[in-house]
Amino acid sequence: MKNDVNTILIKLVSRYVCLFFLLSFAGMTVLQAQSDIFERDRHDMVSSQIQARGISHRSTLQAMRTVPRHLYVPFGQRRFAYYDRPLPIGFGQTISQPYIVAYMTEIINPSSSHRVLEIGTGSGYQAAVLAEIVDQVYTIEIVSELGNTAKTVLEDQYDNVHVKIADGYYGWEEHAPFDAIVVTAAAEYIPPPLVDQLKDGGKMIIPVGSPFQVQQLMLVEKRGERTTTRSLMPVRFVPFTRE
Ligand code: SAH
């Protein structure tokens, strides 16, 4: 009788062990297949949405092919991560359309020695793209929940990204001056502290205009005492808010 119970127990346990390994294997296969699908999507995104529209800066293209954009969007949005549009990331905010991220990256002409400030961390995706190219990225987010989520994802992948929860209007004085500043929320005017924290010869890209209306993406360039601004294209960004 005791032997029978033992045999049944052994059979049951071995069945569960087999089932466990089978399910783990199936799970791993599904995950593997998923990451492959995303890799192809990412390459397609770069050729059809970004190169096709004239972006040619090599390290920008390479960064856009590398950063797993699906890890920066909420889980329920993952299947749309490589679509040609912005996506909601919660708290009324959005992750920018891939082309806009590439455009804003190319225009500052980033290089491996640069220190870049970003205002509006949001999902962390633009910061990740910059971190692939430049030496150090400093990024500021005003919504603490978004900033903290992005910080977790970014710190897992990079050691050259620094996230701060604050009002980005004042920049990040301790790490200034910056080779470039990327502002990803639309301001009514260009914040003077950001111009002050730009290096001589530095570039800032910033959407300027009223909230929820069409704004102008502006390029600000600092040369000595002179600062020039140029309108690049009409855009629609979430508003630059103040504490
Ligand atoms: N770069 C982001 C885009 C996020 S949308 C990405 O790749 O996902 C713009 C972000 O700017 C929002 O998360 C918003 O909360 C933030 N923001 C708005 N005003 C801000 C301010 N004054 N300082 C810092 N962040 C601000």
Give the tens place of pLDDT for each residue, 130-163.
999 999 999 999 999 999 999 999 999 999 999 9
Give me ligand 1 centre to Cα 119, in Å: 6
Find the mean pLDDT for residues 99-128. Answer: 98
CA atoms within 13 A on the CB side of 25: 6
| Residue numbers annotated as active site | 96
Place of tokens 């980005």: 168
Residue 191 predicted with pLDDT over 50: yes
The pLDDT of residue 33: 46
Question: What is the pLDDT averaged over residues 90-103?
Answer: 98
Q: 20 vs 15, 23, 27, 100, 133, CA distance in Å?
A: 9, 5, 10, 45, 42
Calpha distance 136→113 (Å, rounded) = 8
Mutation pick for ligand 1 pocket among 101, 142, 167, 169 (CB with most ligand atoms within 8 Å): 142
What is the set of domains in the chain, with CATH numbers? Answer: 48-235 (3.40.50.150)
Q: Return the H-helix or E-strand segment holding 25.
A: helix 2-45
Q: Is the CB–ligand 1 distance for residue 142 below 6 Å?
A: yes
> Does the pLDDT of residue 17 top 90, yes or no?
no
Write out pLDDT tens, residues 28-86: 545 544 556 799 999 999 999 999 999 999 999 999 999 999 999 999 999 999 999 99
Q: Is the pTM of this model over 0.85?
A: yes
pLDDT class of 243 with cuts at 50, 70, 90? confident
